[in-house]
A and B are shown apart, each in its own frame.
Chain A
Amino acid sequence: MTDAALPSEQENRAATVDPLPVSDVAQLCEDVRSNVGRVIVGHEDGIDHVITTILARGHVLLEDVPGVGKTMLARSIATSIDCTFSRIQFTPDLLPTDITGVNVFDQQNREFEFQHGPIFGNVVLADEINRAPPKTQAALLEAMEEKQVTADGETRPLPDPFTVIATQNAVEPNRTYELPLAEVDRFTKKLELGYPDADEEAELLDRTVGHHPIERLEPVADLETIVRARETVAEVSVKAPVREYATRLARYTREHARLGASPRATISLLRAAQARAAVDGRGYVIPDDVEREAPAVLSHRIRTAASGHDRDGTAVVDDAIERVPVE
């Protein structure tokens, strides 16, 4: 079930990181994008969103029908940036320890040894997350929030960078446990990839006949570059007009939905916008970055009175972008 590698130890977390120049971030992103593009046909928007999520230290939730390349997208990005990748297939009988790992008694050394779970990876693909019972989901989401795992009273930090790419099956709703809102809120973004169009699908078939291109995919960036790029993103400036604009958007959703965007959502929105600006080669956020990120960042956190379905959240965010004055 897992192909996790040992985590690199966390000493570099405390060390000061030298941020990458903004133009290099843009270049890095372009490299990753084109590399992934060798495997994934279309979905440029989705690729960008995943990259910016990683740079913004967030997590992403992909919701779609099976078979549109969710897993392939996650794997190819992980491969491109030369980091550890693990995958957890969520099933109804999955236990929390199946994710975090357990202490195993070593008969030879006559002591307990911690067996790392699949969560210890730089990029973790949590497949069909809504098929597992809430308790198991909670274990994952705690790890996402705390960036650490506690097993048998011992707390172990997760590797850095740490990004969860979760997928959620939109069909078969009666055989799933829907994620509670509080947990959905922990995903920076929720994306829907959608089906490829006719040309893209033909291209896809052409590529995958014979050897799958993922097997020949080479990394284009190392982990250190990613860490430095994340530092750059964190330093992208967000001026008052932009902050105010983000606040106005959030307030708008609160006024026009039963449950609007939380302050955590606003923070996520600005982080995502920072990443977007950096990817665009800019050292400052402009309102366009915010607008670009708002649907993916805010929609899934909004609940309207009519139903619990996220469609309405998207509509509210679109409305907000349409109506809220930029300055």
Chain B
Amino acid sequence: MSTESRRGPGVTADATRESRAFRLLAMGGVLVLTGSYVTVLLDVTAVVGGTRRLVALVVAMIATATVLARAIRPRTATVAAVALGGVGFAYYFTAAGLGVGVVFSATWELLSDSVAFATGLSVFQMIDVGTWTLGFVPAPVFLSWYLGLRRRYVASVVAGGTALTFLVLTGDAPTGTTALGTVGGLAAVGFGELERRDGTVAQTDVLAILFATMLLLSTTVTLVPGPGDSSDPTFLVDGDSPTLEGTTTNAPQRVEISGSVELSPEVRFTVHSERAAYWRTGVYDRYTGDGWVRTGQTESYGGELPSPPGETETVQQTVRLQGPAEVMPAAAHPVAVGDDAASNTEVTVHGGIRPDEPLAEGDTYRVESAVVDPSAAELRTAGTDYPADVTDRYLQLPEGTSSAFETRTQEITGDAETPYEKAVAIERHLELTKGYSLDVERPDGAIEEAFLLEMDEGYCVYFATTMVQMLRAEDVPARYAVGYTTGQQVADDEWVVRGLDAHAWVEVYFPDYGWVAFDPTPGSAREQTHAARLEQAREEGVEDVDTNRSEAGHVANASAGSQPDEADRLSERNQTGASVENGSGLHAEDPRNLSFDSNGTANNSSADDPDAASDADRSTDDGFEWPGVEQTAFGLALLVGFVAGAHRTGVIARASHELRLHWRGRRRDPDRDVERAYRRLELLLEREYRSRRRSESTRQYLSALSANGLVDSRVWRVGRLYERTRYGDGVGREEADEAIHTVDAIVRDRTPIVRRFRR
């Protein structure tokens, strides 16, 4: 006999309604899961463009799956999805200019790439990530929705979960989104099971407990290091100096922009060079709205690198590291690396160099750079005949860039005609109108818009980021460069570079000349900040602040006055000398400001300095903060889980039982009072003996208990009164009061503690 016929038609209707609700919830779960990874991809397209195409594709896939769910069998659908994925990636390879044949000709490279992505390499680093999303999304969306509609929820969640897992492994899925997707998947499986197994609403509390547990676990156990997770110890080369290494080595392919930062006075390296320069450690091309990503991959150094097209000056440098590093600072643009370091050098597609294996303290390497130093006149005539690969890569703006930003940029570059004039106008505007401060609150939205339109001050990261985006808005190819300023000159050809010399600037592309550096960050006042920090560190006797030769130098001289060449060069060429104090083109921050949030991770050397103290003050002065949406949702989910757990374990039932037992309620009409009194009595009897079976009448119930000598005449009296109210002609006020008082007395008698007192 089937369950349905046993339950009878009324119950069956209920069960059908319940199972329909479960189905809706399960499909909702599938949708949430789908939404989670599509959201991650939408974050990508918001940066590189193509949001509309992606959304249209997802909607089309869901529609197709809905239609086909009635038409084709799961096996066919799986084959179709695999084919879909194949077509998607073939499209991607074709669009990326590789051709489908690459699958066969470079299988091994593709596999190793896949592994690289699956171990934390962000999809942002793909050159043609927009097209990639279009290839990636159809198969999982189609398959999971199709399988969900076919009631194969587990398979559906496997399909969607695989997609989400991939994005989690690449480090692109934020914790919140991941948790949401996981909860969605769990909901799909859980409610699907309830639907299939004819579950009841009461059983959903198990799901709620699972949700809460998973959420709790997902916050306490972080399997994959998120982007910018600088505290992950596995990436640290040397635990003693997390600041520099945390900055420059943890996520060399990606930097995020944070709020307030601090200065580290420790010496990082010394350079023997024929001339001063900004010691560049990396360039970034893709802007995500809150940080920078370097697309493309690195290759092993295999001999001389191509030199910039125009006239260049060759500069030989010898760099000696004063601490471990995963970067190779060098003047732009490095063209050759000394033999001793060549085997350990990798080259990015942007022409930068970095070590394959981290470098250790005391390591030295020689590097030859071709420095581009054209005159203003030359740059003015450079034209706009950009190569296609430059415009493809270095003009990208986030999709959501507002028209206000573009309008403002147009106003600023108003009468500038050539790209060079535009760059100068922007640089000048930023230098003149924005103040310098390390103590800024990171804006919620896009950095460049907030900085240009709202903020009054910031530091180099803000200046450089904003300038790059403004140039791109004006169709001038530009990129973001990080590294160190020249540092303290201790001899004619030697410079000492500290953590606080870390800097970010702009490189602009000019046909026939290549990438030319611009520095929109203003000088003077920040120069004093920098110098004061160094002086303070010296007074406090912090280690590693000086090399043997740099100690003698006067602070002001050391930090600002001794390396005028490079700053002057940039300033003069860019005709901003009037606004920038002579010889003060250097400003330094702790390298962390180039990448990661520094709050709460101050290193040893700055733990007791006033900056750190003021930082701490600031964070405590904030006082009470309202929890954000995420925290609220998280707390709510935990609360629901807790309540469900309490429900499961019967705590709530017991508590409410107890309450109902003692709560006699307000008196109304006698019949209601008697009925309520009797219900309380039943509750009491239920607790002490057993509950009344549904098919048992009052009499049968009391008789059954009487047979065991468990109820006395008082109980019977209440039972009889109840019968009269329910089936007979009702009771009077006196009898109702009698029932209430009788039950009160019985309850008192049987409450363990009270009973003890009475005896």
Contact = CB atoms under 8 A, between A and B. Distances in A.
A196 interface: no
A255 interface: yes
Contact of B727 (A252, A286, A321): A286
A265 to B, nearest CB: 19
A322 interface: yes
A237 B695 contact: no
Interface in A26-66: none
Given A255-B8, A284-B724, A288-B700, A322 B729 contact: no
Contact of B697 (A239, A287, A322): A287
B695 A322 contact: yes
B727 A239 contact: yes
A326 interface: yes
B569 to A, nearest CB: 94
B695 A286 contact: no
A283 interface: yes
A324 interface: yes
Contacts of B726: 239, 241, 327
Interface string B680-704: 0000000000000011111110000
A14 B577 CA distance: 127
A285 B727 CA distance: 7
A70 interface: no
Nearest to A325: B694
Nearest to B697: A287
Contacts of A287: 697, 727
B724 A321 contact: no
A140 interface: no
Q: Which of the listed residues B697, B698, B724 has the most CB atoms from chain A within 10 Å of its own CB?
A: B697
Q: Which of the listed residues A285, A322, A324, A326 has the most CB atoms from chain B within 10 Å of its own CB?
A: A326
A282 interface: yes
Contact of B729 (A255, A284, A321, A325): A284
Contacts of B8: 252, 255
Contacts of A325: 694-695
A121 B699 CA distance: 39
B699 A323 contact: no
Interface string A261-286: 00000000000000000000011111
Contacts of B694: 325-326
Interface in A224-255: 237, 239, 241-242, 252, 255
A284 B728 CA distance: 5
Which size class do A's interface residues fall under? 20 to 34
B695 A284 contact: no
Contacts of B727: 237, 239, 241-242, 284-287
Nearest to A242: B727
Contacts of B256: none
B759 to A, nearest CB: 37
A86 B387 CA distance: 124
A291 interface: yes
A255 B10 CA distance: 12
Given A237-B728, A242-B727, A284-B724, A323 B700 contact: no
B211 to A, nearest CB: 34
Contacts of A291: 697, 700
Given A255-B8, A284-B724, A237 B697 contact: no
B589 interface: no
B671 to A, nearest CB: 11
A286 B729 contact: no
Interface string B709-753: 000000000000001101111000000000000000000000000
B699 A288 contact: yes
A282 B728 contact: yes
Interface in A265-317: 282-288, 291
A322 B695 CA distance: 6
A283 B724 CA distance: 10
A282 B699 CA distance: 14
Interface string B194-221: 0000000000000000000000000000
B723 A326 contact: no
Nearest to A255: B8
Contacts of A288: 697, 699-700
A277 to B, nearest CB: 9
Given A255-B8, A288-B700, A283 B695 contact: no
Contacts of B724: 284
Contacts of A239: 726-728
A237 B724 CA distance: 11
A255 B696 CA distance: 21
A37 to B, nearest CB: 24
A267 B333 CA distance: 104
A282 B694 CA distance: 24
Contacts of B723: 286
A324 B693 CA distance: 10
Contacts of B729: 237, 283-284
Nearest to A284: B728
Nearest to B728: A284
B695 A323 contact: yes
Given A255-B8, A286-B723, A326 B696 contact: yes
B728 A321 contact: no
Contacts of A324: 695
Nearest to A291: B697
A118 B697 CA distance: 44
B281 to A, nearest CB: 78
7 contacts: A237-B727, A283-B729, A284-B724, A284-B728, A284-B729, A286-B698, A327-B726
The 5 A-B pairs of least Cβ separation, nearest first, read A284-B728, A325-B694, A287-B697, A326-B697, A286-B727
Interface of A: 237, 239, 241-242, 252, 255, 282-288, 291, 321-327
Interface of B: 8, 694-700, 723-724, 726-729
Given A239-B728, A283-B728, 15 more contacts: A237-B727, A237-B728, A237-B729, A239-B726, A241-B726, A284-B729, A286-B697, A286-B727, A287-B727, A288-B697, A288-B700, A321-B695, A323-B695, A325-B695, A327-B726
